[in-house]
Structure 1
Amino acid sequence: MKRDLQLAVGAAAVTLVPGIVLWLAGAPPVPTLLASLAIAVVAILALGRRWYRQVVARIDAQTVHLQSAIGIAATADIPVYWSGHAITPETLKLIQHLVDSLGLRSVLELGSGISTLLLANDFRRRGAGRILSFDDDQRWAEQTMAKLRHEKLDGFAEVRTAALIDVDAAGRRAKWYDLAALDKAARFDLVIVDGPPAWQGDSMARLPALYVLHQHLSSNGLLVLDDAARPGERAIAQQWQRDFPDLHFRMVQTGRGLFVAAVQKSALDFLPE
Protein backbone atom coordinates (compact mmCIF):
# COMPACT_ATOMS: atom_id res chain seq x y z
CA MET A 1 0.00 0.00 0.00
CA LYS A 2 2.82 2.42 0.78
CA ARG A 3 4.37 1.85 -2.65
CA ASP A 4 0.96 2.36 -4.31
CA LEU A 5 0.59 5.69 -2.50
CA GLN A 6 4.05 6.77 -3.63
CA LEU A 7 3.17 5.90 -7.22
CA ALA A 8 -0.09 7.85 -6.99
CA VAL A 9 1.71 10.93 -5.67
CA GLY A 10 4.28 10.55 -8.44
CA ALA A 11 1.53 10.34 -11.06
CA ALA A 12 -0.10 13.51 -9.73
CA ALA A 13 3.22 15.34 -9.82
CA VAL A 14 4.00 14.18 -13.36
CA THR A 15 0.56 15.34 -14.47
CA LEU A 16 0.45 18.74 -12.77
CA VAL A 17 4.03 20.02 -12.85
CA PRO A 18 4.42 20.37 -16.66
CA GLY A 19 1.13 22.29 -16.91
CA ILE A 20 2.13 24.63 -14.11
CA VAL A 21 5.53 25.23 -15.73
CA LEU A 22 3.92 26.02 -19.10
CA TRP A 23 1.37 28.31 -17.44
CA LEU A 24 4.08 30.20 -15.56
CA ALA A 25 6.03 30.52 -18.82
CA GLY A 26 3.05 32.30 -20.36
CA ALA A 27 1.91 29.55 -22.72
CA PRO A 28 -1.65 29.87 -24.09
CA PRO A 29 -4.24 28.10 -21.94
CA VAL A 30 -5.53 25.64 -24.54
CA PRO A 31 -2.10 24.19 -25.56
CA THR A 32 -1.16 24.07 -21.87
CA LEU A 33 -4.33 22.09 -21.08
CA LEU A 34 -3.78 19.73 -24.01
CA ALA A 35 -0.16 19.14 -23.03
CA SER A 36 -1.18 18.39 -19.46
CA LEU A 37 -3.87 15.96 -20.61
CA ALA A 38 -1.44 14.18 -22.93
CA ILE A 39 1.12 13.81 -20.14
CA ALA A 40 -1.64 12.62 -17.80
CA VAL A 41 -2.73 9.91 -20.27
CA VAL A 42 0.85 8.68 -20.72
CA ALA A 43 1.44 8.67 -16.94
CA ILE A 44 -1.80 6.81 -16.25
CA LEU A 45 -1.03 4.17 -18.87
CA ALA A 46 2.51 3.67 -17.56
CA LEU A 47 1.43 3.47 -13.93
CA GLY A 48 -1.52 1.26 -14.76
CA ARG A 49 0.82 -1.19 -16.45
CA ARG A 50 3.12 -1.13 -13.45
CA TRP A 51 0.25 -1.63 -11.02
CA TYR A 52 -1.00 -4.54 -13.13
CA ARG A 53 2.41 -6.24 -12.99
CA GLN A 54 2.53 -5.75 -9.21
CA VAL A 55 -0.95 -7.23 -8.74
CA VAL A 56 -0.07 -10.26 -10.90
CA ALA A 57 3.19 -10.77 -8.96
CA ARG A 58 1.31 -10.64 -5.64
CA ILE A 59 -1.28 -13.13 -6.88
CA ASP A 60 1.45 -15.46 -8.15
CA ALA A 61 3.28 -15.28 -4.80
CA GLN A 62 0.08 -15.98 -2.86
CA THR A 63 -0.71 -18.90 -5.18
CA VAL A 64 2.69 -20.48 -4.58
CA HIS A 65 2.27 -19.89 -0.84
CA LEU A 66 -1.11 -21.65 -0.75
CA GLN A 67 -0.02 -24.48 -3.04
CA SER A 68 3.00 -25.14 -0.82
CA ALA A 69 0.93 -25.04 2.37
CA ILE A 70 -1.68 -27.40 0.92
CA GLY A 71 1.00 -29.73 -0.47
CA ILE A 72 2.80 -29.97 2.86
CA ALA A 73 -0.44 -30.49 4.79
CA ALA A 74 -1.57 -33.19 2.37
CA THR A 75 1.60 -35.25 2.74
CA ALA A 76 2.19 -34.73 6.47
CA ASP A 77 0.58 -37.13 8.93
CA ILE A 78 0.82 -34.63 11.80
CA PRO A 79 -1.05 -31.35 12.46
CA VAL A 80 0.39 -28.51 10.39
CA TYR A 81 0.24 -24.87 11.47
CA TRP A 82 1.97 -21.60 10.63
CA SER A 83 2.41 -18.45 12.68
CA GLY A 84 3.19 -15.05 11.24
CA HIS A 85 6.89 -15.36 12.12
CA ALA A 86 7.30 -18.98 11.04
CA ILE A 87 9.26 -20.07 8.00
CA THR A 88 6.97 -19.80 4.96
CA PRO A 89 5.48 -22.98 3.41
CA GLU A 90 7.22 -22.39 0.07
CA THR A 91 10.61 -21.98 1.77
CA LEU A 92 10.10 -25.10 3.86
CA LYS A 93 9.02 -27.06 0.80
CA LEU A 94 12.25 -26.07 -0.96
CA ILE A 95 14.28 -27.15 2.08
CA GLN A 96 12.43 -30.50 2.11
CA HIS A 97 13.29 -30.84 -1.57
CA LEU A 98 16.99 -30.32 -0.80
CA VAL A 99 16.88 -32.85 2.04
CA ASP A 100 15.22 -35.48 -0.16
CA SER A 101 17.23 -34.83 -3.34
CA LEU A 102 20.64 -34.71 -1.66
CA GLY A 103 19.92 -37.39 0.95
CA LEU A 104 20.74 -35.06 3.83
CA ARG A 105 20.55 -36.77 7.22
CA SER A 106 21.94 -34.43 9.87
CA VAL A 107 20.36 -31.00 10.34
CA LEU A 108 21.25 -28.18 12.72
CA GLU A 109 18.56 -25.56 13.11
CA LEU A 110 18.67 -22.13 14.77
CA GLY A 111 15.13 -21.23 15.76
CA SER A 112 12.67 -24.08 16.33
CA GLY A 113 9.07 -24.46 15.25
CA ILE A 114 6.99 -26.01 12.48
CA SER A 115 10.13 -26.74 10.44
CA THR A 116 11.50 -28.85 13.30
CA LEU A 117 8.35 -30.96 13.41
CA LEU A 118 7.98 -31.44 9.67
CA LEU A 119 11.63 -32.29 9.02
CA ALA A 120 11.58 -34.76 11.91
CA ASN A 121 8.43 -36.25 10.40
CA ASP A 122 10.20 -36.58 7.04
CA PHE A 123 13.10 -38.38 8.73
CA ARG A 124 10.71 -40.75 10.47
CA ARG A 125 9.13 -41.66 7.14
CA ARG A 126 12.59 -42.28 5.67
CA GLY A 127 13.70 -44.18 8.75
CA ALA A 128 16.90 -42.15 9.05
CA GLY A 129 17.95 -38.61 9.89
CA ARG A 130 17.99 -36.28 12.86
CA ILE A 131 17.52 -32.57 13.51
CA LEU A 132 19.08 -30.67 16.40
CA SER A 133 17.44 -27.30 17.03
CA PHE A 134 18.59 -24.45 19.27
CA ASP A 135 16.24 -21.73 20.49
CA ASP A 136 16.90 -18.77 22.77
CA ASP A 137 13.29 -18.76 23.99
CA GLN A 138 13.08 -21.46 26.67
CA ARG A 139 9.29 -21.53 26.75
CA TRP A 140 9.05 -21.87 22.97
CA ALA A 141 11.73 -24.57 22.93
CA GLU A 142 9.84 -26.54 25.57
CA GLN A 143 6.60 -26.22 23.61
CA THR A 144 8.25 -27.48 20.44
CA MET A 145 9.84 -30.38 22.32
CA ALA A 146 6.47 -31.25 23.87
CA LYS A 147 4.91 -31.38 20.40
CA LEU A 148 7.72 -33.62 19.19
CA ARG A 149 7.09 -36.02 22.06
CA HIS A 150 3.33 -35.90 21.48
CA GLU A 151 3.81 -36.87 17.82
CA LYS A 152 6.45 -39.46 18.79
CA LEU A 153 9.07 -37.60 16.81
CA ASP A 154 11.56 -37.08 19.65
CA GLY A 155 13.64 -39.96 18.28
CA PHE A 156 14.36 -37.82 15.22
CA ALA A 157 14.62 -34.35 16.72
CA GLU A 158 15.84 -32.54 19.80
CA VAL A 159 15.33 -28.93 20.86
CA ARG A 160 17.78 -27.27 23.24
CA THR A 161 17.71 -23.84 24.82
CA ALA A 162 20.72 -21.67 24.02
CA ALA A 163 21.02 -18.22 25.61
CA LEU A 164 22.11 -15.29 23.46
CA ILE A 165 25.61 -14.08 24.33
CA ASP A 166 28.03 -11.55 22.86
CA VAL A 167 29.80 -13.06 19.85
CA ASP A 168 32.41 -11.35 17.64
CA ALA A 169 32.18 -11.99 13.92
CA ALA A 170 33.57 -10.03 10.95
CA GLY A 171 34.71 -7.25 13.25
CA ARG A 172 31.25 -6.87 14.71
CA ARG A 173 29.76 -7.87 18.06
CA ALA A 174 26.27 -9.32 18.16
CA LYS A 175 23.98 -11.27 20.46
CA TRP A 176 24.08 -14.83 19.21
CA TYR A 177 23.52 -18.38 20.44
CA ASP A 178 25.76 -19.86 23.09
CA LEU A 179 26.76 -23.12 21.39
CA ALA A 180 29.56 -24.01 23.80
CA ALA A 181 27.85 -27.34 24.45
CA LEU A 182 27.90 -28.29 20.77
CA ASP A 183 30.41 -31.07 20.09
CA LYS A 184 33.33 -29.56 18.17
CA ALA A 185 33.52 -32.72 16.06
CA ALA A 186 29.84 -32.54 15.05
CA ARG A 187 29.18 -32.22 11.32
CA PHE A 188 25.88 -31.34 9.69
CA ASP A 189 24.61 -31.79 6.15
CA LEU A 190 22.26 -28.84 6.55
CA VAL A 191 22.24 -25.78 8.79
CA ILE A 192 19.02 -23.73 8.86
CA VAL A 193 19.49 -20.17 10.12
CA ASP A 194 16.10 -18.81 11.17
CA GLY A 195 17.21 -16.95 14.29
CA PRO A 196 17.93 -14.96 16.34
CA PRO A 197 14.87 -12.78 15.67
CA ALA A 198 15.81 -9.54 13.92
CA TRP A 199 12.87 -7.78 15.57
CA GLN A 200 14.83 -7.73 18.82
CA GLY A 201 16.68 -4.70 17.46
CA ASP A 202 19.66 -5.97 15.45
CA SER A 203 18.96 -6.37 11.74
CA MET A 204 22.24 -8.28 11.30
CA ALA A 205 21.81 -10.56 14.30
CA ARG A 206 22.33 -13.66 12.13
CA LEU A 207 25.74 -12.57 10.81
CA PRO A 208 27.80 -14.88 13.12
CA ALA A 209 26.11 -18.05 11.82
CA LEU A 210 28.52 -18.92 9.02
CA TYR A 211 31.62 -17.80 10.94
CA VAL A 212 30.75 -20.07 13.85
CA LEU A 213 29.25 -23.00 11.94
CA HIS A 214 31.41 -23.22 8.82
CA GLN A 215 33.60 -25.77 10.59
CA HIS A 216 30.52 -27.87 11.37
CA LEU A 217 29.43 -28.28 7.73
CA SER A 218 29.92 -31.77 6.31
CA SER A 219 31.76 -32.36 3.04
CA ASN A 220 28.51 -31.83 1.12
CA GLY A 221 27.01 -29.41 3.63
CA LEU A 222 24.60 -26.55 3.05
CA LEU A 223 23.75 -23.52 5.15
CA VAL A 224 20.51 -21.68 4.40
CA LEU A 225 19.59 -18.21 5.67
CA ASP A 226 15.86 -17.50 5.89
CA ASP A 227 14.29 -14.03 5.47
CA ALA A 228 17.09 -13.24 3.05
CA ALA A 229 15.10 -10.55 1.22
CA ARG A 230 15.28 -8.22 4.23
CA PRO A 231 17.95 -5.47 4.15
CA GLY A 232 19.84 -6.88 7.14
CA GLU A 233 20.03 -10.38 5.70
CA ARG A 234 21.03 -9.02 2.28
CA ALA A 235 23.96 -7.26 3.96
CA ILE A 236 24.84 -10.51 5.76
CA ALA A 237 24.79 -12.41 2.45
CA GLN A 238 27.16 -9.89 0.87
CA GLN A 239 29.54 -10.12 3.83
CA TRP A 240 29.58 -13.92 3.70
CA GLN A 241 30.33 -13.93 0.00
CA ARG A 242 33.32 -11.67 0.58
CA ASP A 243 34.69 -13.65 3.53
CA PHE A 244 34.10 -17.25 2.35
CA PRO A 245 35.49 -17.61 -1.19
CA ASP A 246 35.69 -21.39 -0.70
CA LEU A 247 31.89 -21.68 -0.60
CA HIS A 248 29.29 -21.39 -3.34
CA PHE A 249 26.26 -19.14 -2.98
CA ARG A 250 22.83 -18.51 -4.45
CA MET A 251 19.94 -16.23 -3.56
CA VAL A 252 16.58 -17.89 -4.13
CA GLN A 253 13.43 -15.80 -4.51
CA THR A 254 11.05 -17.90 -2.47
CA GLY A 255 8.97 -16.94 0.55
CA ARG A 256 10.76 -14.10 2.30
CA GLY A 257 13.98 -15.01 0.48
CA LEU A 258 16.44 -17.86 1.03
CA PHE A 259 20.22 -17.43 0.77
CA VAL A 260 22.13 -20.67 0.31
CA ALA A 261 25.81 -21.38 1.00
CA ALA A 262 27.10 -24.73 -0.27
CA VAL A 263 30.36 -26.61 0.19
CA GLN A 264 29.82 -28.34 -3.17
CA LYS A 265 28.80 -26.23 -6.15
CA SER A 266 26.80 -29.15 -7.57
CA ALA A 267 24.33 -28.85 -4.67
CA LEU A 268 23.13 -25.54 -6.15
CA ASP A 269 21.84 -27.44 -9.20
CA PHE A 270 18.87 -28.54 -7.09
CA LEU A 271 17.81 -24.91 -6.55
CA PRO A 272 15.77 -22.70 -8.87
CA GLU A 273 17.72 -20.03 -10.71
Structure 2
Amino acid sequence: MPLILSTLTILLLAYTLHKLRRAHLLLFELRDQSRQDNADLFRQLEALQGLYAELDLKTSLPPTRGWAASPDFLLELARHARTARPLSVVECSSGASTLVLARCMQLNGAGRVLSLEHDPHYAAQTRAQLRHHGLQDWAEVLEAPLQEHTLGGDAWSWYGTDDLPDGLSIDLLVIDGPPQATGSMARYPAGPLLFPRLSAGASVFLDDAARSDETAVVQRWQREYPALVHATRTCEKGCAVLTKPI
Protein backbone atom coordinates (compact mmCIF):
# COMPACT_ATOMS: atom_id res chain seq x y z
CA MET A 1 0.00 0.00 0.00
CA PRO A 2 2.72 2.59 0.85
CA LEU A 3 4.34 1.88 -2.53
CA ILE A 4 1.06 2.50 -4.33
CA LEU A 5 0.50 5.74 -2.42
CA SER A 6 4.04 6.89 -3.20
CA THR A 7 3.56 6.10 -6.89
CA LEU A 8 0.24 7.95 -7.01
CA THR A 9 1.79 10.93 -5.24
CA ILE A 10 4.67 11.04 -7.73
CA LEU A 11 2.24 10.78 -10.66
CA LEU A 12 0.07 13.54 -9.19
CA LEU A 13 3.11 15.79 -8.70
CA ALA A 14 4.31 15.08 -12.25
CA TYR A 15 0.86 15.89 -13.66
CA THR A 16 0.66 19.10 -11.59
CA LEU A 17 4.13 20.19 -12.76
CA HIS A 18 3.15 19.45 -16.37
CA LYS A 19 0.00 21.60 -16.07
CA LEU A 20 1.97 24.40 -14.40
CA ARG A 21 4.53 24.32 -17.21
CA ARG A 22 1.74 24.48 -19.81
CA ALA A 23 0.19 27.42 -17.95
CA HIS A 24 3.54 29.27 -17.88
CA LEU A 25 4.09 28.64 -21.60
CA LEU A 26 0.59 29.90 -22.35
CA LEU A 27 1.22 33.05 -20.33
CA PHE A 28 4.47 33.67 -22.23
CA GLU A 29 2.64 33.16 -25.55
CA LEU A 30 -0.10 35.58 -24.51
CA ARG A 31 2.52 38.11 -23.41
CA ASP A 32 4.41 37.82 -26.72
CA GLN A 33 1.18 38.02 -28.74
CA SER A 34 0.09 41.09 -26.79
CA ARG A 35 3.44 42.75 -27.48
CA GLN A 36 3.15 41.89 -31.18
CA ASP A 37 -0.43 43.17 -31.37
CA ASN A 38 0.60 46.42 -29.71
CA ALA A 39 3.55 46.78 -32.09
CA ASP A 40 1.30 46.15 -35.11
CA LEU A 41 -1.26 48.66 -33.88
CA PHE A 42 1.46 51.25 -33.27
CA ARG A 43 2.78 50.70 -36.79
CA GLN A 44 -0.68 51.35 -38.27
CA LEU A 45 -1.11 54.49 -36.16
CA GLU A 46 2.29 55.72 -37.33
CA ALA A 47 1.34 55.03 -40.95
CA LEU A 48 -2.01 56.80 -40.55
CA GLN A 49 -0.33 59.84 -39.01
CA GLY A 50 2.22 59.82 -41.83
CA LEU A 51 -0.56 59.63 -44.39
CA TYR A 52 -2.33 62.69 -42.98
CA ALA A 53 0.95 64.60 -42.83
CA GLU A 54 2.12 63.73 -46.35
CA LEU A 55 -1.26 64.48 -47.94
CA ASP A 56 -2.08 67.47 -45.70
CA LEU A 57 -5.57 66.11 -45.13
CA LYS A 58 -7.98 68.43 -43.33
CA THR A 59 -10.89 65.97 -43.18
CA SER A 60 -10.77 62.45 -41.80
CA LEU A 61 -10.53 59.40 -44.02
CA PRO A 62 -13.09 56.57 -43.85
CA PRO A 63 -12.27 53.70 -41.44
CA THR A 64 -9.12 51.76 -42.36
CA ARG A 65 -9.79 48.57 -40.38
CA GLY A 66 -11.52 45.33 -41.33
CA TRP A 67 -11.91 44.87 -45.07
CA ALA A 68 -10.59 48.34 -45.87
CA ALA A 69 -7.02 48.95 -46.99
CA SER A 70 -4.69 49.35 -44.01
CA PRO A 71 -2.89 52.65 -43.33
CA ASP A 72 0.53 51.20 -44.19
CA PHE A 73 -0.70 50.05 -47.63
CA LEU A 74 -2.32 53.46 -48.23
CA LEU A 75 0.92 55.17 -47.27
CA GLU A 76 2.85 53.02 -49.77
CA LEU A 77 0.36 54.05 -52.47
CA ALA A 78 0.62 57.72 -51.56
CA ARG A 79 4.41 57.77 -51.56
CA HIS A 80 4.54 56.00 -54.92
CA ALA A 81 1.91 58.26 -56.48
CA ARG A 82 3.63 61.41 -55.23
CA THR A 83 7.01 60.23 -56.53
CA ALA A 84 6.09 58.50 -59.80
CA ARG A 85 3.34 61.05 -60.62
CA PRO A 86 1.12 58.67 -62.65
CA LEU A 87 -1.36 60.36 -64.96
CA SER A 88 -3.69 57.39 -65.33
CA VAL A 89 -4.61 55.33 -62.26
CA VAL A 90 -7.02 52.39 -62.26
CA GLU A 91 -8.33 50.77 -59.10
CA CYS A 92 -10.06 47.44 -58.63
CA SER A 93 -12.54 48.31 -55.83
CA SER A 94 -13.11 51.70 -54.25
CA GLY A 95 -12.83 53.22 -50.79
CA ALA A 96 -10.20 55.02 -48.74
CA SER A 97 -7.59 54.26 -51.40
CA THR A 98 -9.67 56.21 -53.94
CA LEU A 99 -9.53 59.29 -51.73
CA VAL A 100 -5.81 58.90 -51.08
CA LEU A 101 -4.98 58.52 -54.77
CA ALA A 102 -7.30 61.36 -55.80
CA ARG A 103 -5.59 63.62 -53.24
CA CYS A 104 -2.22 62.64 -54.70
CA MET A 105 -3.45 63.64 -58.17
CA GLN A 106 -4.66 66.95 -56.74
CA LEU A 107 -1.32 67.63 -55.06
CA ASN A 108 0.54 66.61 -58.22
CA GLY A 109 -1.64 68.96 -60.25
CA ALA A 110 -2.33 66.28 -62.86
CA GLY A 111 -3.74 62.77 -63.23
CA ARG A 112 -7.03 60.96 -62.79
CA VAL A 113 -8.26 57.89 -60.91
CA LEU A 114 -10.79 55.44 -62.35
CA SER A 115 -12.14 53.05 -59.75
CA LEU A 116 -14.01 49.87 -60.68
CA GLU A 117 -16.68 49.07 -58.08
CA HIS A 118 -19.17 46.21 -58.35
CA ASP A 119 -21.29 47.19 -55.33
CA PRO A 120 -23.58 50.22 -55.98
CA HIS A 121 -23.75 50.98 -52.23
CA TYR A 122 -19.97 51.25 -51.89
CA ALA A 123 -19.76 53.18 -55.15
CA ALA A 124 -22.22 55.76 -53.79
CA GLN A 125 -20.32 55.95 -50.49
CA THR A 126 -17.01 56.61 -52.23
CA ARG A 127 -18.53 59.26 -54.49
CA ALA A 128 -19.96 61.00 -51.43
CA GLN A 129 -16.55 60.89 -49.73
CA LEU A 130 -14.89 62.33 -52.83
CA ARG A 131 -17.36 65.24 -52.81
CA HIS A 132 -16.88 65.69 -49.06
CA HIS A 133 -13.12 66.03 -49.56
CA GLY A 134 -13.48 68.19 -52.68
CA LEU A 135 -11.77 65.51 -54.80
CA GLN A 136 -14.59 64.67 -57.23
CA ASP A 137 -12.69 66.21 -60.16
CA TRP A 138 -9.71 63.89 -59.62
CA ALA A 139 -11.41 60.50 -59.41
CA GLU A 140 -14.40 58.72 -60.89
CA VAL A 141 -16.07 55.61 -59.51
CA LEU A 142 -17.29 53.37 -62.30
CA GLU A 143 -20.06 50.92 -61.46
CA ALA A 144 -18.68 47.66 -62.81
CA PRO A 145 -20.90 44.67 -61.92
CA LEU A 146 -19.15 41.32 -61.76
CA GLN A 147 -19.41 39.54 -65.09
CA GLU A 148 -18.29 36.20 -66.42
CA HIS A 149 -14.99 36.38 -68.29
CA THR A 150 -13.54 33.38 -70.11
CA LEU A 151 -9.77 33.35 -69.62
CA GLY A 152 -7.53 30.44 -70.51
CA GLY A 153 -10.56 28.24 -71.04
CA ASP A 154 -11.90 28.93 -67.52
CA ALA A 155 -14.81 31.11 -66.42
CA TRP A 156 -14.03 33.90 -63.95
CA SER A 157 -16.31 36.34 -62.15
CA TRP A 158 -14.72 39.79 -62.38
CA TYR A 159 -15.49 43.44 -62.96
CA GLY A 160 -17.01 44.58 -66.22
CA THR A 161 -14.55 46.79 -68.09
CA ASP A 162 -16.86 48.33 -70.71
CA ASP A 163 -16.72 51.78 -69.10
CA LEU A 164 -12.93 52.00 -69.21
CA PRO A 165 -11.89 54.35 -72.03
CA ASP A 166 -10.70 52.78 -75.27
CA GLY A 167 -6.94 53.01 -75.66
CA LEU A 168 -6.47 53.64 -71.95
CA SER A 169 -2.81 53.40 -70.90
CA ILE A 170 -2.49 52.63 -67.18
CA ASP A 171 0.41 54.14 -65.22
CA LEU A 172 -0.65 52.75 -61.83
CA LEU A 173 -2.94 49.77 -61.19
CA VAL A 174 -4.17 49.12 -57.64
CA ILE A 175 -5.82 45.77 -56.99
CA ASP A 176 -7.85 45.39 -53.79
CA GLY A 177 -10.84 43.45 -55.13
CA PRO A 178 -13.05 41.71 -55.88
CA PRO A 179 -13.69 40.11 -52.47
CA GLN A 180 -12.10 36.74 -51.72
CA ALA A 181 -15.61 35.25 -51.37
CA THR A 182 -16.07 35.76 -55.12
CA GLY A 183 -14.07 32.61 -55.77
CA SER A 184 -10.64 31.03 -55.76
CA MET A 185 -7.89 33.38 -56.99
CA ALA A 186 -10.56 36.06 -57.41
CA ARG A 187 -8.06 38.77 -58.35
CA TYR A 188 -6.25 36.84 -61.07
CA PRO A 189 -8.32 38.28 -63.99
CA ALA A 190 -6.76 41.70 -63.43
CA GLY A 191 -3.70 40.27 -65.17
CA PRO A 192 -5.07 39.18 -68.53
CA LEU A 193 -7.71 41.94 -68.60
CA LEU A 194 -5.63 44.94 -67.56
CA PHE A 195 -1.90 44.16 -67.74
CA PRO A 196 -1.89 44.58 -71.56
CA ARG A 197 -2.92 48.19 -70.93
CA LEU A 198 0.03 48.99 -68.65
CA SER A 199 2.28 51.78 -69.88
CA ALA A 200 6.07 51.49 -69.88
CA GLY A 201 7.30 51.87 -66.30
CA ALA A 202 3.83 51.29 -64.84
CA SER A 203 3.41 49.68 -61.41
CA VAL A 204 0.83 47.26 -60.05
CA PHE A 205 0.09 47.24 -56.30
CA LEU A 206 -1.72 44.19 -54.91
CA ASP A 207 -3.18 44.41 -51.41
CA ASP A 208 -3.68 41.35 -49.13
CA ALA A 209 -0.65 39.74 -50.75
CA ALA A 210 0.09 37.71 -47.61
CA ARG A 211 -2.99 35.53 -48.17
CA SER A 212 -2.48 32.17 -49.84
CA ASP A 213 -4.87 33.03 -52.68
CA GLU A 214 -3.02 36.22 -53.54
CA THR A 215 0.32 34.42 -53.29
CA ALA A 216 -0.93 31.93 -55.88
CA VAL A 217 -2.19 34.78 -58.06
CA VAL A 218 1.18 36.54 -58.03
CA GLN A 219 2.99 33.30 -58.86
CA ARG A 220 0.69 32.75 -61.84
CA TRP A 221 1.17 36.33 -63.02
CA GLN A 222 4.92 35.87 -62.81
CA ARG A 223 4.71 32.81 -65.06
CA GLU A 224 2.43 34.51 -67.56
CA TYR A 225 4.08 37.97 -67.51
CA PRO A 226 7.77 37.24 -66.87
CA ALA A 227 8.84 40.72 -68.01
CA LEU A 228 7.20 42.29 -64.95
CA VAL A 229 9.59 42.82 -62.04
CA HIS A 230 8.24 41.52 -58.74
CA ALA A 231 8.90 43.10 -55.32
CA THR A 232 7.23 43.18 -51.93
CA ARG A 233 6.55 45.90 -49.38
CA THR A 234 6.21 45.31 -45.64
CA CYS A 235 2.52 45.87 -44.94
CA GLU A 236 0.06 44.49 -42.41
CA LYS A 237 -1.83 42.37 -44.96
CA GLY A 238 1.01 41.99 -47.43
CA CYS A 239 1.77 44.08 -50.50
CA ALA A 240 3.10 42.82 -53.83
CA VAL A 241 4.39 45.24 -56.45
CA LEU A 242 4.86 44.38 -60.11
CA THR A 243 6.63 46.87 -62.37
CA LYS A 244 6.72 46.97 -66.14
CA PRO A 245 10.20 47.87 -67.41
CA ILE A 246 10.62 51.07 -69.38
What is the TM-score with the length of structure 2 in the denominator? 0.83
Between the two proteins, the alignment pairs up a number of residues equal to: 239
Tell me the secondary structure at the aligned position of residue 85 of structure 1.
Answer: coil
- 1:234 is aligned to 215
Contact 2:227–2:245 (CA<8 Å) still a contact in 1?
Answer: no
Instruction: Classify 1:197/1:45 alpha carbon distance in 2 versus 1 (closer, same or farther; 3 Å).
Output: same
Instruction: Classify 1:43/1:107 alpha carbon distance in 2 versus 1 (closer, same or farther; 3 Å).
Output: same
| Structure 2 Cα separation of the partners of residues 80 and 66 of structure 1 | 13
How many angstroms does 1:220 deviate by? Answer: 0.9
Contact 1:169–1:207 (CA<8 Å) still a contact in 2?
Answer: no
How many angstroms does 1:191 deviate by? Answer: 0.5
| Structure 1 Cα separation of the partners of residues 39 and 87 of structure 2 | 32
Contact 1:132–1:158 (CA<8 Å) still a contact in 2?
Answer: yes
- Which among 113, 117, 121 is matched to residue 95 of structure 2? 113
The CA deviation string for residues 16-64 of structure 1, in whole angstroms up to 9 with x for no partner, is xxxxxxx9xxx94455456546655655555444433322221111111
Contact 1:86–1:114 (CA<8 Å) still a contact in 2?
Answer: yes
- Which among 19, 35, 40 is matched to residue 61 of structure 1? 40
- 2:178 is aligned to 196
Tell me the secondary structure at the aligned position of residue 240 of structure 2.
Answer: strand
Q: Pairwise mapping of residues 31-50 of structure 1 onto structure 2 (< 5 A)?
A: 32-33=11-12, 35-36=14-15, 39-40=18-19, 43-44=22-23, 46-50=25-29
Paired letter, 1:95:
L
Instruction: Classify 1:50/1:100 alpha carbon distance in 2 versus 1 (closer, same or farther; 3 Å).
Output: same
Paired letter, 1:130:
R
Structure 2: 5+ residue stretches without partners: none
- 1:157 is aligned to 139
Tell me the secondary structure at the aligned position of residue 183 of structure 1.
Answer: coil
Instruction: Classify 1:35/1:244 alpha carbon distance in 2 versus 1 (closer, same or farther; 3 Å).
Output: farther
Contact 1:197–1:205 (CA<8 Å) still a contact in 2?
Answer: yes
| Structure 1 Cα separation of the partners of residues 33 and 155 of structure 2 | 39
1:89 is aligned to 2:60: no
Contact 1:76–1:118 (CA<8 Å) still a contact in 2?
Answer: no
| Structure 2 Cα separation of the partners of residues 171 and 238 of structure 1 | 19
Paired letter, 2:109:
G
Instruction: Classify 1:241/1:34 alpha carbon distance in 2 versus 1 (closer, same or farther; 3 Å).
Output: farther
Tell me the secondary structure at the aligned position of residue 125 of structure 1.
Answer: helix
| Structure 2 Cα separation of the partners of residues 189 and 183 of structure 1 | 14
